[in-house]
A and B are shown apart, each in its own frame.
Chain A
């Protein structure tokens, strides 16, 4: 008999894989790796702020809500800076430095607030945010993940071709009547929202790797679009599911296993070239 928490973990990792598998080729072709870097800072700050609010108002749902708002705001801020003429890297640099500072300040506040609410069960969350806690996912969180994930998946699916054209030739897109700015915004918000949704299962430390490598690998081994997406999806699914099973058997956090497996595959492919 499979324990229920394992079933939940498997279901969560299927949702995560579908989202990341679809998104990863876009991150690679559009060159959005810088954004996943910014996401790291935004998500951490959002989590700290969210936990402060969650504790103050004694409502755990505020954690993800705050993280979502903070992340999307920061992502849009970066998009705005880019529009003002900063390169993506400097836009991320500017924003990340402020956010990182605020995060450290936020930790100070969080500890103070935690001291005033010793009875409220939030103690482990910051660490589990960093490494991912797929085995601890509650039924509530799983529901949010599946419903929110399905919504984001369909938005991404219906706009996939537009995102590809956006990556291929934004100027051309604009000259034929496409609203480049709007597509870019939607894409950035999607990346931010997906990040917020999956970070607690995937883990903040490893998020960037699992978001970038599957697409990078898929683009290395195939050039036809359908195959690229197919490989990326299957790879993410295979890695996520097997890491959950392995973690169940060995007690090592699954996010660590998934990242190492991806790294090995990527390394072998690079080496064979």
Chain B
């Protein structure tokens, strides 16, 4: 056999979606509930005092940040588990002994995790409409941005899943790195609201660029220029793809 093994991609993709479907109810309910809670706490309680940021209603202002936040965690969580579990359970033997290339493996696992993460993002977007009127200025850019974010964070999660050798290691990066960075990344406030030196320090947080770029697709403006956001996503994609290429070339933590 030669050529592209698209059947393998499809099999893995279906397998992963099936895995997600086993927890479908919680998988869908959790984002709805968290989003609602955020709106009650931030939109209702705090928003009633803040009313507007950069001329945008506070409740609407936090929508892109909320979507991003959930998509970051969903992407990393699902993609890292997707590849970590077979490693942990030993079922990875089958993947390694199948005529499946590195590219096909990545497309399948990352594709499935990104699908899940995009559905969660969409659910939050829809739920947000129950609480606030959100007008999206650049819908196509918004969709494209979501896809890019899902793919790059799933790639990152995939690498994490390959690297991790215990459940603890699997959790530590999302909990200790991504979560704080997201909270400090301007999901709930504008960078302009910070005083120096925090404002400058914040600009070293890559999440700022992602949240800002996504916010731009909604309101036509963000904390930093959209070109910086795009540059950053491109860089992140490139780094992840290089890392994955290296992982498969060397068999790092996959093959002894």
Do A and B share a complex? Answer: no
